[in-house]
Structure 1
Amino acid sequence: MGKKIGLAAYLIDDPVQGALFFLGKKLAVKDSKGNIAGIIVETEAYGGAEDKACHGYGKRLTPRNKIIFQQGGITYVYFCYGMHHLLNFVLGPEGVPMAVLIRGVIITEGKELVKQRRKGNPEHHWADGPGKVTKAMGITLADNGISLIGDRIWVEESGLEVPDSEIERTPRIGVDYAEEWAKKPLRFVWKQAMQRIMPSLINASSSSLNKDRVKTACSPTTH
């Protein structure tokens, strides 16, 4: 087990810095059937009341989005399009809506359990989209608002370095409604992750990977 990421990392008031920080870290989930872990390889930054793609846009507080206004260090899990649960890490001080959406993970531990959950899907597609991450790791609405330094869901140091030259920056997926915010490069992908973590999967996961991510993507909306 690596060193657990402490509360201070979640209190930064810059979602871009947070989204970059969590690339290469290990996301771990303690499940009743076993433990699952994987390396975070894709994130998106959401934050500030001015971000039109963020659930906290305009500081409009609702029963659904109230979690994102709390102090960083907790999960924000919501159900999107009636299909997918999405996992976010809440960041920053209380009252300022900021979060990092976990868009992609390479599963490294608990593979037998994940294989059962993602039956019929090749390993390189187990968690290569935000809805797939939660399916693979067994994360549901019951996990909304829980501590990220507890014993259910947490993040560890992985010992992996993510060079800036290997990070692809693109606009976020599925936020065309967000006007000028739709084009901001707030999606971060560790391009060489598969090569460094699971080289045996490289051939299987080449050209179709990003296409599948787009088709299964489901990003935060303003309601």
Structure 2
Amino acid sequence: MRLTTRELADRAAELAAEASRTGRARILGITGPPGAGKSTLAAALTEALGAGTAVVVGMDGFHLSNAVLEARGSRDRKGAVDTFDDAGYAALIDRIADHALDAPPLYAPEFRREIEEPVAAGTVVGAEPLVITEGNYLLVPDGAWPAARSRMAEVWYLDLPDAERLRRLVARHHAFGKPLPDAETWAAGSDQRNAELIATTRGAADLVVEWV
């Protein structure tokens, strides 16, 4: 389904209105393959909804650190489903779902692409009625991912034609320091294997959308 930012924001606003009535935050998940535009859409929704309505908590804050990945021999697969702390993510989503809007704030980690590492307590979850969480593996049926999914009001799967998605991925990797040949290899290799896994979860989404 092709939807505009305004149409998606209207749907997200309905979730925020529900939270305002119940006094507890509602969680909207946005998933899809690498390069589909998840973080960009999350930011666009936050802006469209207006100040104080939504906050973004990225799944990428639960990347295992480079040191841990190197110790495990997984550094060259960073971004694969088993290179995240899925139990930690599920625990945070559980806390957010139970968070009263008038309670003290919660803190969530965030991922900093400029250093390729997660940073603790980088995001403040306060009185916003809607929490938007975005990431690759929100609909994966294994591990602790289903526990996180069970606390989300809706999960949207963001679709994008592969050619454009790969173009964006290569550009992003290159912009954050990878030489162009390495960026192309990573996008077509590790990222693509992850994308193929994520594509199998598409049918479990509440909404499949091509954002225009």
Which structure carries more helix by proportion?
Answer: 2
Fold shared per TM-score above 0.5: no
Task: Give the TM interval when normalised to the shorter protein.
Answer: 0.3 to 0.5
- The answer to which structure, 1 or 2, has the higher relative contact order (CA under 8 A, 6+ apart) is 2
TM-score scaled by structure 1?
0.33
TM-score scaled by structure 2?
0.34
